Amino acid sequence: MLERNIENFIGCESSYEDADIVLFGAPFDSTTSFRPGARFGSAAIRHESFGLETYSPYQNKDILDYNIFDSGDIELCFGSAEKALEDIQSRTRIILNDNKLPLLIGGEHLVTLGAFRAVHNKYPNVHIIHFDAHADLRDDYLGAKLSHACVIRRCYEIIDDNSEKRIHQFCIRSGDREEFEFAKKHTNMNKFNFNGLDELVNMLSIKNVPVYFTIDLDCLDSSVFPGTGTPEAGGVTFVQLLEAILKVCKTNVVGADINELAPTLDNSGVSTATACKVLRELILGLN
């Protein structure tokens, strides 16, 4: 008797019950203002992961040695950002309730808001570590409050804590003047690179606060990662990103996402292959 066709990220073959980490995809890009295509990101990562090894020579670890479950993509409504965010929040909540770590694969960056709402509900003292080329701190974008360009601003409003800066931004090199001025007051923004990350990780580790870790892959230089809606020159290399991820994994990460791969914008397939490798290293780093 023949089996149905199952498609996982490579090596994620645990049962749901045994899993420590649960992957899920959010194929959504309706608010993308410039070049759409991030909706295809999660499926591409899953599909092309079979060009990758499960073993990492960087960490000397193998995915097959850990318990990871891939629950596939959520079927999201393209007509309504709010409805899509609710579905993402709901899936995240289920995973958190089962005491597993949710690992979201976008989709455009707005999807982070859905996951973060659920994480913040469970961990009200959560911090955000944010790798991105863009500040994503606009109050609205062409009139829309729920836009990829506003996602960290919306997260900031959820946190609503004036006692300390709980949003930590790295690699930022694009935004309008107002965003950079907002950041000066309200976030811990580190422009262009990962300067300051070591100190942050030490501080957060000592405090042992929960951390939500969101990686917009366009933090990478546009030569390294052309397949994204708004590629930005002047970014970091893969090895720099890898080292930074491993540092963040030393903190108490309680939820994470990678987003903004738009695979059809890079016919060479390199962006997808690189996203797969980032995800492999992130999974292994979280174990």
Position 43 contacts a copy of itself (CB under 8 A):
yes
CB-CB contact of 269 with 75 (8 Å): no
Q: Please, which of residues 69-98 interact with a copy of itself by CB under 8 A?
A: 69-73, 75-81, 83, 91, 94-95, 98
Please tell me whether residue 144 binds a copy of itself under the rule CB under 8 A.
yes
Residues in region 211-240 near a copy of itself by CB under 8 A: 221-224, 226-227, 230-234, 238-239
C-beta separation of 205 from 165 below 8 A? no
Q: N- to C-terminal Cα distance for the chain?
A: 36
Q: Which of 31, 49, 89, 214 binds a copy of itself (CB under 8 A)?
A: 31
Note whether 120 binds a copy of itself by CB under 8 A: no
In the complex, least distance from residue 204 CB atom to a copy of itself, rounded to whole angstroms: 25
Distance of CA 152 to the CA centre of its chain: 12
* Cα–Cα distance measured from residue 199 to residue 201, given in angstroms and rounded to the nearest whole number: 6
Task: Map tokens 């992961």 to a residue.
Answer: 49
State which of residues 147, 169, 188, 251 lies at the interface with a copy of itself (CB under 8 A).
Answer: 147
Q: Which of residues 255-274 bind a copy of itself (CB under 8 A)?
A: 265-270, 273-274
CB 112 to a copy of itself: min, Å: 16
222 versus 252: smaller Cβ distance to a copy of itself:
222
82 or 161, CB closer to a copy of itself? Answer: 82
How far is it, in rounded angstroms, from Cα 129 to Cα 86?
Answer: 22
The CA–CA distances, whole Å, from 117 to 152, 154, 157, 173 equal 12, 10, 11, 26
